[in-house]
């Protein structure tokens, strides 16, 4: 069902958007770095660590004078990375055999250039849609690379109401980026 919705989105987006989407995925596939296989010690106790850094809303904007707290792309990126590091630190006592990262979950605040959610609800935003997408992409690459230094990584995309299509495209970009490192990639979890 999700693939059909994305295919429909691409068809309705027009030729220019289709070309941009395809070119972006091809560029990522061409660049995909080859990560070395890490030798890990044998673990006496096996454990799975599931991390769900949900609701970062890359691209959301708030002003402290109006909402009592500021939020923008820089703050989203900083909190995302610090939160992930904090969770890794708290779990360091347990030796993880695998880390599952749940992606999506309103990773982007908007789903189109009109600054609306998937359903069309207008949002206050910091920057353009593509700046939010890039910030989310680099933040996710960073946490996946960091997690891979601790244990094997499995990424699962969970669709959400703010960025149904954008979140899917981000998961596709991450899949292409890590295709040489994470062969058992899971596209979607519903």
State the DSSP string of the chain: -HHHHHHHHHHHT-HHHHHHHHHHHHHHHHH---PPPPP-PPPSS--EEEE------BTB-B-HHHHSS-B-HHHHHHHHHHHHHHHHHHTTTS--SEEEEEEESSSBS-SSTTSB-TT--B--BSS-HHHHHHHHHHHHHHHHHHHHTTSEEEEEEE--SS-HHHHHHHHHHHHHHTTTT-TT-B----
What count of other Cβ atoms lies within 10 Å of the Cβ of residue 95? Answer: 16
pLDDT tens series, the chain, 190 aa:
445 555 665 566 666 666 767 777 777 777 767 777 777 777 677 788 999 998 999 999 999 999 999 999 999 999 999 999 999 999 888 888 889 999 989 999 999 989 999 999 999 999 888 899 999 999 999 999 999 888 888 899 999 999 999 999 999 889 888 877 664 544 444 3
| pLDDT value at residue 158 | 92
Spans of all domains in the chain = 48-190
- Spatial separation of the C-alpha atoms in residues 15 and 165, rounded to whole Å: 17
Contact call for residues 107 and 140 (beta carbons, < 8 A): yes
| pLDDT value at residue 59 | 96
| pLDDT value at residue 1 | 47
pTM recorded for the entire structure: 0.78
């Amino acid at each position: 069902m999700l693939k059909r919705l994305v295919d429909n989105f691409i068809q309705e987006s027009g030729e220019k958007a289709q070309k941009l989407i395809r070119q972006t995925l091809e560029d990522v596939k061409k660049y995909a770095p080859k990560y070395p296989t890490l030798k890990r010690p044998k673990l006496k106790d096996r454990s799975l660590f599931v991390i769900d850094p949900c609701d970062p809303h890359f691209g959301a904007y708030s002003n402290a004078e109006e909402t009592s707290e500021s939020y923008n792309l820089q703050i989203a990126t900083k909190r995302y990375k610090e939160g992930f590091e904090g969770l890794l630190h708290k779990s360091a006592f347990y030796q993880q055999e695998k880390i599952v990262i749940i992606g999506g979950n309103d990773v982007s605040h908007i789903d189109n250039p009109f600054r609306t959610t998937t359903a069309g609800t207008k949002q206050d935003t910091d920057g353009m849609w593509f700046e939010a997408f890039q910030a989310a992409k680099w933040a996710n690459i960073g946490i996946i690379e960091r997690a891979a230094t601790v244990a094997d990584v499995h990424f699962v995309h969970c669709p959400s109401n703010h960025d149904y299509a954008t979140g899917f495209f981000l998961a596709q970009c991450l899949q292409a980026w890590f295709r040489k490192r994470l062969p058992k990639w899971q596209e979607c979890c519903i």
